[in-house]
Structure 1
Amino acid sequence: MFYRFWRAFLVGLAALLFGTEVRGREHLPPTGVYIVAPSHRSTLDIPLAAAVTRRRLRFMAKQEIFNGPVWIWIFHAVGAVPVDRAGTDRAALKAVEGALLEGEPVVIFPEGTRHQGPELGPIASGTAYVALKAGVSVVPVGIGGTGTLVVRRRGVPRLSRVTVVVGPPIVVERVDGAVKRSAITELDATLRVRLQAVFDEAEVRSAQRSAGRRASDQAGEGV
């Protein structure tokens, strides 16, 4: 119940402020579980990742944000799993595997933390490891427009238009036993290419929509 409220409020707020557009929802598997693997430029990417489906999602989140009893309660209520980025954090990976086995899709940001610029940051191995152990598809999701949420025109701040692009899933076969480093490296490379493609598409679309809004504003000022 709390997740539904949280999602409805934050996704709705993002849509109101940034005109969120989601493209490619048809690529999400209609049934079963999968990993949503979004690009990461802003904290706003968290509710934007939730915008791709009404299903309850579980999020892997850095342990640092679990600070204080109130925040701990909130993040656990929305299904977040704390991750220690300094180590392998096998307990967190086990928790994510458990969520998948319980039938809940999981959100993992492959870059591990926020990055800026047109190129993705290094891909951490956690996404590939979990996908291979659980045998679930990885759905790349590009989020465009969150790198610079506020732009200025003639000194007046304008909010950018945000576009989310869902790419075709990467089908992953389950690995029984130990996962070889070569398998992780191969899946990381595939994910990087596919995620970069949808991120580029999302950035272009976001820029086009933001430019269209500015042109509309200028036309209105000229009337």
Structure 2
Amino acid sequence: MTGATTRVVTKPGRDTRWNRLLYGFFRQIVSNSLRMWTRGTVEGKENLPDGAFVLAPIHRSYIDTPISSWVQMRRLRYLGKDTMWKYDWIGKLFTAMGAIPVHRGTIDREALRRCLDALASGQPVVLFPEGERKDGPEVHPLLDGAAFLAAKAKVPIVPVGIAGSDRAMPRGAKVVYPRKIHVIVGEPIMVETNGRSRASREQLNATTVHLRAEIQRLYDLAQTRIS
């Protein structure tokens, strides 16, 4: 049918030894080079729990994704637009790097399942709760995806403030400028269920409100480290 949208179908990425090695290789080149170039610093790593968790950073620049990998050596999983898997070999590379394809504009149950599978196997998942990249000093209203995913998997959410990424690579920039970046990892947040098997809508909303306030606090604090 002419004009129909073809959805890219991909296989879920497993945390294989090959994937971990490839992730470590590219992390060493891309993430560490970026950190040296921007004099990147991280505080609060001691707040990261063992096992699986949902990492929830503020999102002000395209480089926030590699910056997120500064917080931990382990392979992190990320959500990426499914169009990046259009070509098989590129898709395999993105999968090895920890990306999980998501079809934007719809409720992607397959992406949700893959995130839950990753968390169930002990892998941390990065989810930008503001959704797409935003601008300005105020944390925008959050989507409830981080709270929903954390509640479903029964894992904590770890809020993260990233200051300076919008100066290092602002909207429209083609290169990364050598501007100071500082990252602060906050304390884990658990979705309260009051003993129930699943969180209610009110509990998810309360967690999202708490998460937004904590990301704002960390972001404001991180800004003082680069001023």
Partner of 1:38: 57
Q: What's the CA shift for 1:161?
A: 0.2
TM-score between both structures, scaled by the size of structure 1: 0.83
Q: What's the CA shift for 1:150?
A: 6.1
TM-score between both structures, scaled by the size of structure 2: 0.82
Compared CA separation, residues 85 and 203, structure 1 to 2 (3 A): farther
Separation in structure 2 between the aligned mates of residue 42 and residue 119 of structure 1, nearest angstrom: 14
Q: Secondary structure at the match of 2:114?
A: helix
8 Å CA contact retained: 1:131, 1:137: yes
Equivalent position amino acid for 2:179 in 1: S
Aligned length: 200
Equivalent position amino acid for 1:201 in 2: L
Q: List 4+ stretches of structure 1 deviating above 6 A.
A: none
- What do residues 52-87 of structure 1 show as CA deviations (whole Å, max 9, x unaligned)? 001111112233444433431221111211122311
8 Å CA contact retained: 2:62, 2:169: no
8 Å CA contact retained: 1:21, 1:163: yes
Partner of 2:216: 196
Separation in structure 2 between the aligned mates of residue 126 and residue 63 of structure 1, nearest angstrom: 18
Equivalent position amino acid for 2:203 in 1: A
Equivalent position amino acid for 1:13 in 2: S
8 Å CA contact retained: 1:36, 1:138: yes
Equivalent position amino acid for 2:79 in 1: M
Separation in structure 1 between the aligned mates of residue 56 and residue 224 of structure 2, nearest angstrom: 19
Q: Secondary structure at the match of 2:188?
A: coil
Q: What's the CA shift for 1:149?
A: 1.3
Separation in structure 2 between the aligned mates of residue 188 and residue 119 of structure 1, nearest angstrom: 15
Separation in structure 1 between the aligned mates of residue 95 and residue 24 of structure 2, nearest angstrom: 14
Q: What's the CA shift for 1:126?
A: 1.1
Equivalent position amino acid for 1:61 in 2: G
Q: What's the CA shift for 1:106?
A: 0.9
Q: What's the CA shift for 1:117?
A: 0.5
Aligned-pair Cα RMSD in Å: 1.9
Question: Structure 1, unaligned stretches of length 5 or more?
Answer: 152-156, 209-223
The match for 2:158 among 135, 139, 142 is 139
Partner of 2:197: 176
Compared CA separation, residues 66 and 39, structure 1 to 2 (3 A): farther
Separation in structure 1 between the aligned mates of residue 112 and residue 169 of structure 2, nearest angstrom: 35
Once the two structures are aligned, what percentage of the paired residues are identical? 37
Structure number with greater Rg is: 1
Structure with greater strand share of residues: 1
Question: Structure 2, unaligned stretches of length 5 or more?
Answer: 1-20, 171-175
